[in-house]
Structure 1
Amino acid sequence: MFPKPEPKLSPNTYAYESRPLVKPTGFREYDARWLFEKEINLMGIQALGLGIGTLMHEREVRPDIVVGHDFRGYSASIKMALVSGLMAAGIRVHDIGLALSPMAYFAQFALDVPAVAMVTASHNDNGWTGVKMGIDRPLTFGPDEMGRLKDIVLGAAFKLRVGGEYRFVENFPESYIKDLTDRPKLKRPIKVVAACGNGTAGAFAPRVLEALGAEVIPLDCELDHTFPRYNPNPEDLKMLHALRDKVLETKAEVGLGFDGDGDRCGVVDNEGEEIFADKVGVMLARDISALHPGCTFVVDVKSTGIFAMDPVLRENGAKTEYWKTGHSYMKRRVNELGAIVGFEKSGHYFFNTPIGRGYDDGLVSAIAILDMLDRNPDRTMADLRRALPRTWGSPTMSPHCDDEIKYEVIDRVIDRFKAMREKGETVAGQPISDLITVNGVRVVSEDGTWGLVRASSNKPELVVVVESPVSEARLHEMFKAVDTVLRENPEVGAYNQTI
């Protein structure tokens, strides 16, 4: 039998090379993330593959799976270790090679394969690895599947089976690109900066946008797994500032920034204004609801309150539901409600029929943005931004908090705000009008200013977002109030960025 994984092993030892290392906290809410070599080794990845295969048989899923890997120096070796575990569990593996996460999701449909395991750490720093998994397209694992997978792997409850096979799918990117570009071209050559942060999207995004008829100015599109300038993360202000500078230099109509595995897209308008993804979502919701009156949208709890109060969406009969942050949660809710799109502040957009297949794809998002501009030839991206109700919002800010304690800290924060509300205490100088606890806690003051605190699903961090429909001063007041409550917990460390 395959040995039981260990939670800790010292590198450069016999034990490290002969036993699987799997740190339990790497099993997140809806995917898996570890620091490679420190928290998981290649034998640990094999154990993960065995666990996925065992779970597939347990859930009576046809034993076929798509695998792919992102552009990091170690991702290909990690993928092959995963493949060996899957094959040992009797799974037929369809390897599409170097890929974007949405390319792997697309492969489930194009190759008629029920399951997917994409090796990627997305936008995480170098050193991280992970796997995004699903066994029921277009959905990915949620807490139920992740919890069961964790039990199988850590308990070594593997079922070895014969029948495992390996197939490399040649030239699969061509099928993905054809699927995105087999449509009418843009009516005009929209000038766009495509920023990829030297991540995997650099191999595909410029080519797709050019095929649609856009005039593309590439920025950091050369693949380089050291990420020499900044992490490919469209929520990172370094990436957004680089995109802004290039847009202003080239007088582009829009800047589009793609994350490390290509499932998210950030936006800078023609005036160099960095538009947070939730507000881009409102702009797209306006455009889409005009074409599909009465449609439903799902937005995550980190997103702007404009969705709930926007007069254009109301006039178009659009319905909006706020839901849990996370690609697995959002995909499921979009699917359950038959929503046309789900929007996350992080830039994950889940376009459903008739626009997409329900999964998040940064290139589908980019195409939707270009189509919106194409349908509004007399309005710039900045014009569309200015047409939104004015709010002042923060970027996503993440103070460090160890994985082992972060959920307990969030429970304390929720209890603290509940107690404040029950006692009639104020937050940022005003009464608490609402507490939304579907995912962490979103505390709303009487004037509509709000602050959100939740645990990050993929890193040892918390997530903080604040917004005010009143003023920038109220934005800062709410951030100070939220941070004061956080600082009551000594386990909370420094922010990665702040306002």
Structure 2
Amino acid sequence: MIPKPHAALSPNTYDYESLPLVKATGFREYDARWLFEKEINLMGVQALGAGLGTLIHEMGVRPDLVTGHDFRGYSASIKYALIAGLMAAGVRVKDVGLALSPMAYYGQFALDCPCVAMVTASHNDNGWTGVKMGANRPMTFGPEEMGRLRDIVLSGEFVLREGGAYAFVEGFAERYLDDLTQNVTIARKLKVVAACGNGTAGAFAPRALEAIGCEVIPLDCELDHTFPHYNPNPEDMKMLHALADKVRETGADVGLGFDGDGDRCGVVDNEGKEIFADKIGVMLARDLSKLYPNATFVVDVKSTGLFKDDPVLIENGVTADYWKTGHSYIKRRVNELGALAGFEKSGHFFFNDPVGRGYDDGILTAIHVAQMLDRNPQKTMAELYRAIPQTWGSPTMAPKCADEEKYAVVDRVSARFKAMHEAGEEVAGQPIRELVTVNGVRVVAEDGTWGLVRASSNKPELVVVVESPVSEERMRAMFKGVDAILRENPEVGAYNQSL
């Protein structure tokens, strides 16, 4: 028997060491994230494993599951607690050890496991933990599955079964790297800076890039779970600036930055200029649509409007589908539409058959960037970037907002913009041309300048992005207009970074 979890327990007490702690807000839209010890304890993780095993059987899926853990001081302990719960619920577990999230996703195919449970907090700060889960490769859970998992775990409705088993898979990292690189050859001599923020990707990304023929300059690739320089997050300007400085110092052809669990990739050009991931997506879509004309690309609502407006993509017959932000949403949409690829502004890129298996892999993204440069031997990364139409866009900005409040705030902001639109009011000095509400609200002004507000799916924050095809001034005006609406809500706090 596994006890029913509690929403709160005091640390350093008998109850804390005897009962599961699981805070309900850790069950998010498409994965799970908690502050370890404050919001979940090891018995709570065991309960999560038992709940996941119960759900797998309830879904009628064969109970074979691959798991791994990222490089944090507590991740291995969390993984073994999760495994204990999974086995108690009758799941046969194959453990690939220290791993990237895409390595675990690859394990679903290579080890014939329908299910996955990767222990990672991704790019979240130290202290966070989480699990990325799925039971239908290559997709991961969405809101329906996460909601059912939450209900099973919090109610303690575990169905424990015989038949659980455990096996450790030796040498799996080499299998994964061989699969990525065995058919890839780069003729162009590329000098590449690989920045890993001392996260898990440092053990794998440089090896993969060297295997395809790149000269690799490692930056913060030594594993160190204290993350002494910056958080391994390719959306974080501190990481991008460090990468840009190293590119300029070494005269590299490109800089590639990987997040904590290796499913995202950020890019800096040969002149040391950071290229936001949605613009990299446009560049890759241009390159791939020459090889695969009339392709469909799925992009998230935070991404640039160029996917619909770029003349090269139009000429190549590209169809752009704007969809909900989140790796589970985009992955699912790519599969549903049979899209060639999916791109998120956060740096999650999903390459589908015949250029991938449909899941997000930062190292595969880096390989595609190298292949794009190889297919354009007379052009630098900066020249390829300058070839796309210029827009002025912000980084992803995240004002604090409690998990319990953020969705209600976004609903109020959406309703406010809708009322403004219906009343003919202006935003950023212009009439509102369009509202996109598939995920939060994206308000588009008459000249194409737009601003997005949505709730973060994995942290107690909102997400704000603005872009203008006209000028930096118009981009800043949109930010000012969006922020003014946000500030009508006292629950919204300070930004993590701003214009």
Normalised by the size of structure 2, how large is the TM-score? 1.00
Q: Distance in 2 between matches of 1:480 and 1:260?
A: 32
- Equivalent residue, structure 2, for 1:59: 59
Q: Distance in 1 between matches of 2:100 and 2:215?
A: 23
**How far did residue 189 of structure 1 move?**
2.1
- Equivalent residue, structure 1, for 2:376: 376
- Equivalent residue, structure 2, for 1:69: 69
Q: Distance in 1 between matches of 2:207 and 2:46?
A: 35
- Equivalent residue, structure 2, for 1:271: 271
- Equivalent residue, structure 2, for 1:354: 354
1:402 aligns with 2:402: yes
Q: Distance in 1 between matches of 2:354 and 2:270?
A: 29
1:45–1:417 CA distance, 2 compared to 1 (3 A): same
Q: Distance in 2 between matches of 1:130 and 1:398?
A: 20
Q: Secondary structure at the match of 2:192?
A: strand
Q: Secondary structure at the match of 1:221?
A: coil
1:33 aligns with 2:40: no
Q: Secondary structure at the match of 2:283?
A: helix
Q: Secondary structure at the match of 1:286?
A: helix
- Equivalent residue, structure 2, for 1:44: 44
Q: Secondary structure at the match of 1:206?
A: helix
Q: Distance in 2 between matches of 1:379 and 1:369?
A: 13
- Equivalent residue, structure 2, for 1:333: 333
Q: Distance in 1 between matches of 2:432 and 2:344?
A: 25
Q: Secondary structure at the match of 1:453?
A: strand
What letter is aligned with 1:451? Answer: G
Q: Secondary structure at the match of 2:266?
A: strand
1:213-260 superposed Cα distances (whole Å, 9 cap, x missing partner): 001000000000000000000000000000000000000000000000
- Equivalent residue, structure 1, for 2:79: 79
Matches within 5 A, 1:147-158: 147-158=147-158
1:310-365 superposed Cα distances (whole Å, 9 cap, x missing partner): 10001001111100000000011000000000000000000000110000000110
- Equivalent residue, structure 1, for 2:181: 181
**How far did residue 143 of structure 1 move?**
0.3
What letter is aligned with 1:301? Answer: V
1:121 aligns with 2:121: yes
1:484 aligns with 2:484: yes
Q: Distance in 2 between matches of 1:285 and 1:299?
A: 11
What letter is aligned with 1:378? Answer: Q
**How far did residue 2 of structure 1 move?**
1.4
Q: Distance in 1 between matches of 2:202 and 2:184?
A: 23
Q: Secondary structure at the match of 1:366?
A: helix
**How far did residue 468 of structure 1 move?**
0.3
Q: Distance in 2 between matches of 1:268 and 1:297?
A: 23
Q: Distance in 1 between matches of 2:184 and 2:59?
A: 41
- Aligned residue-pair number: 499
What letter is aligned with 1:443? Answer: V
1:390 aligns with 2:390: yes
* Greater than 2 Å deviation, 4+ residue runs: none
**How far did residue 184 of structure 1 move?**
3.7
Q: Distance in 1 between matches of 2:292 and 2:97?
A: 37
- Equivalent residue, structure 2, for 1:138: 138
Q: Distance in 2 between matches of 1:183 and 1:85?
A: 39
1:279-320 superposed Cα distances (whole Å, 9 cap, x missing partner): 000000000000001110000000000111010001001111
**How far did residue 185 of structure 1 move?**
1.5
1:38-63 superposed Cα distances (whole Å, 9 cap, x missing partner): 00000000000000000000001111
What letter is aligned with 2:13? Answer: T
1:158–1:381 CA distance, 2 compared to 1 (3 A): same
**How far did residue 188 of structure 1 move?**
2.2
- Equivalent residue, structure 1, for 2:204: 204
- Equivalent residue, structure 2, for 1:159: 159
Q: Distance in 1 between matches of 2:324 and 2:332?
A: 10
Normalised by the size of structure 1, how large is the TM-score? 1.00
Q: Distance in 2 between matches of 1:64 and 1:184?
A: 31
1:405-427 superposed Cα distances (whole Å, 9 cap, x missing partner): 10000000000000001111000
Q: Secondary structure at the match of 2:197?
A: coil
Q: Secondary structure at the match of 1:17?
A: helix
What letter is aligned with 1:424? Answer: G
What letter is aligned with 1:145? Answer: E
Q: Secondary structure at the match of 1:379?
A: coil
Q: Secondary structure at the match of 1:442?
A: strand
1:310 aligns with 2:296: no
Q: Distance in 2 between matches of 1:104 and 1:483?
A: 39
Q: Secondary structure at the match of 1:224?
A: coil
Q: Give aligned-pair identity as a percent.
A: 77
What letter is aligned with 1:433? Answer: R
Q: Secondary structure at the match of 1:451?
A: strand
What letter is aligned with 2:77? Answer: S
Matches within 5 A, 1:451-490: 451-490=451-490
Q: Distance in 1 between matches of 2:282 and 2:193?
A: 22
Q: Distance in 1 between matches of 2:90 and 2:286?
A: 48
Q: Distance in 1 between matches of 2:367 and 2:177?
A: 12
What letter is aligned with 2:431? Answer: P
**How far did residue 144 of structure 1 move?**
0.5
Matches within 5 A, 1:12-27: 12-27=12-27
**How far did residue 181 of structure 1 move?**
1.2
* Structural RMSD (CA): 0.4
Q: Secondary structure at the match of 1:194?
A: strand
- Equivalent residue, structure 2, for 1:436: 436
Structure 1: any 5+ residue segments left out of the alignment?
A: none
What letter is aligned with 1:397? Answer: M
1:193 aligns with 2:193: yes
Q: Distance in 1 between matches of 2:184 and 2:90?
A: 43
**How far did residue 476 of structure 1 move?**
0.5
What letter is aligned with 2:368? Answer: A
- Equivalent residue, structure 2, for 1:99: 99
Q: Distance in 2 between matches of 1:377 and 1:448?
A: 34
Q: Secondary structure at the match of 2:131?
A: strand
Q: Distance in 2 between matches of 1:42 and 1:392?
A: 46
- Equivalent residue, structure 2, for 1:238: 238
Q: Secondary structure at the match of 2:152?
A: helix
1:160-201 superposed Cα distances (whole Å, 9 cap, x missing partner): 101110100011001001101111420022110000000000
- Equivalent residue, structure 2, for 1:445: 445
Q: Secondary structure at the match of 1:409?
A: helix
